[in-house]
Structure 1
Amino acid sequence: RVGEFSREDLPRVGTLYPLGFPSIFGDFLIRDPAYCAPNGAMGFVGASIPEGAVGYLMRGEKESLLAAAARVSQKAICVGNPLFALVFDCVSRALVLGEAFEEELRIVDDTLGGLPCLGFLSAGEIQPYGRAPLFRNKTVVVAVAGERGTEQCFLPVCDASSEVELAILHEISTLSFPGSYQEFFRGMVERAVRLFRVQRMAFLWRRDEELQLAASWGFSDPAEVQKEMESPKEHQRIFLLGEQEAPSVLFFEAPYPLRRREHRLYALFARKVEDVLRFARHLEEQKQRLRELEHLSLTDELTGVYNRRGFLVLAEHALLAAQREGKEAGVLFLDLDNLKWINDQFGHEEGDRAIREFSRIIQKVFRKSDIIARIGGDEFAVLLSGVKNADLERILRRLTQLVEEWNSKNQRSYRLSFSAGWAPFLPSQPRKIRELLSFADARMYDEKRRKKGGNSFTPS
């Protein structure tokens, strides 16, 4: 692309891509600076560095630019019977180099071995016609006319600075799930091609026990990828993601044999893809559970808390999450004392009122993240995550206090009281929810037998 930016280009560059993106090759896809300050800093109209961004602005050190000119000249001279060369420099490159621009011309001339050379300065970077001006900032292009050589040369990736590597890591870290798999796979391919300039890549996604070609660059069929995987070459990388027994596959083909530094960046990219897909599967499972809950009657009509079925479904998932995260948890079993006596003396309507009042008290004590359920006539269960014995004692004291406050404020012919039993859950010794319920129920009956008056409880 040679010439001034069009009016249509400027809003797109300034809005969508204010600063641009780094690549593994040590250059930056970044728009040209609108001006250069006296201290040599580059300024950009309508653009600012995002908070937390690393290395997005190419500093344009003269030594780096001169070295790049030598490398690109060496790459261009790999032809047979060279005839002449064309050299294109962007104006901003000449501005940044200043007096050293003459040195660049000398380096190019020496590298080309005195080949006849014609030079051009462009107002913009060299880019295919019709594209928005996202380009390698401070571009130098050397084109040599001649016969194609037999040896293929590659720009050394390890010339990339540590700043570039940090910027690439920042790009990888921002890879996230946009809400649909299609959008994620499209973005994943775009970043891989942009950051690593892969010649080909593919993601074989295991769904319903089969590998599907979910995303690709240069492949049209899963069988093509699997054929390459049978005997991988030194410039190809294969990552197995997900379950070891039935993994998905992320395949890369670089334009050159990979070195240790690139291996690490490719591996970090693959790990990030795996993390994002794991999060997406978690969202998918969560949505599926919500759909299942919509088809089930999971709440108790009298109190509005979960019923036994709802408790078992939700508590089982909560225990699995606690085990994954290494958190302690437990089930607290609560029994409203003397409900049968209240029903016999004052009728079932009054008994229902006592159950509702006790349920309201319970909901005031526990967190929204705790799972509260009425699992029987006078029986309640609460699943608590991240709670230890010391926390449980405080919770029970608070529950007892609220029950006593209710008794003092409501002049009824009966008093509310409760018995409690606790079943701890340890991630190192996981137990099923039904087993925990049974254990907590037995502890609650032990408490009833020990209790002679008031509420007393000692967790173990």
Structure 2
Amino acid sequence: MKAPDLPANEEARLLALRQLDILDTPAEERFDRLARMARRLFDAPIALVTLIDRDRQWFKAASAPDEYENPGQVPREITFCGHTIAQEKVLVIPDTLADGRFADNPMVAGPPNIRFYAGCSVTDGHNHNVGTICILDRTPRDFSAEDMALLRDLGAMVERELLAIHMATIDDLTGIANRRGFMTMAQHALQLCQRQKVPASLAFLDLNKFKQINDRFGHAEGDQALRFFAAQLREHYRESDLCARLGGDEFVVLLTNTDITRANELTGRLSAALQASALQATTEGAEAASYHLSFCHGVVEYDAQRHASIEHLLEDGDRLMYQDKKR
């Protein structure tokens, strides 16, 4: 048996999965319906909507005969879908016993005795393969190009449902996480860092004189400034860092596997980049004018003894940011 390879963007993929806040949630008709549709369209005994966590595959929806015992989750290392998310095309295994990667897989050698698999990756809308929609059979079968196209169509339907969930955690203006999305995802990230015994740091950022931008150039320009700042966060922090707009002109970044020295370094680079980037006011009818964005900040390193939750870490970051503002 061959264990699945990890996608190249594994850490960012896991953060995207956490941001959906869907793991271990109750069954939902919108996903159950798609599993039933897949089972009916392909006349397959089992159809699943799955999400691939760090060490497990979790079933969001399962359509199967009454005698099928849905385990709810299985170890990732024995999954077929773990292989699917590591590639972009539909994964088809016409006969598992004829494929050296799966012939001795426990799900082939024992219940549910899988002999056929077809799976399509589903993304969060940002090129992170977070899970699959797949069909399973207990006998070998063929799977045509038309079948693969149909499975991809079903995958797109799953993605639309995931996007609806995702939008509830994303700030409409800037496109980064909102407070709800940050609080959920950051708590998971802190627990992971504690379990892996790696550092984490938080940068609390508050734009300087943002009200003056609104007063001078109008709220449309203020919105543009917020979008620009969010884009700068994405550019100067790393793909695995969680950037969020808490509200108004307050932003936060959680940096995993990062001590406070490195976090301060990245935040300093962001500040320098803003100083070098003059924004041109675009308010219609106003005189041409440029301005720079700057921010006060507080950077704090996660301490499991002092920070019982993400709320405590935010409080420390807010306090340090306020001290910076008073200087």
Normalising by the residue count of structure 1, what TM-score does the alignment of the two structures yield? Answer: 0.36
Whose relative contact order is higher, 1 or 2, with alpha carbons under 8 Å and at least 6 apart? Answer: 2
Structure with bigger gyration radius? 1
Q: If the length of structure 2 is used for normalisation, what is the TM-score?
A: 0.49
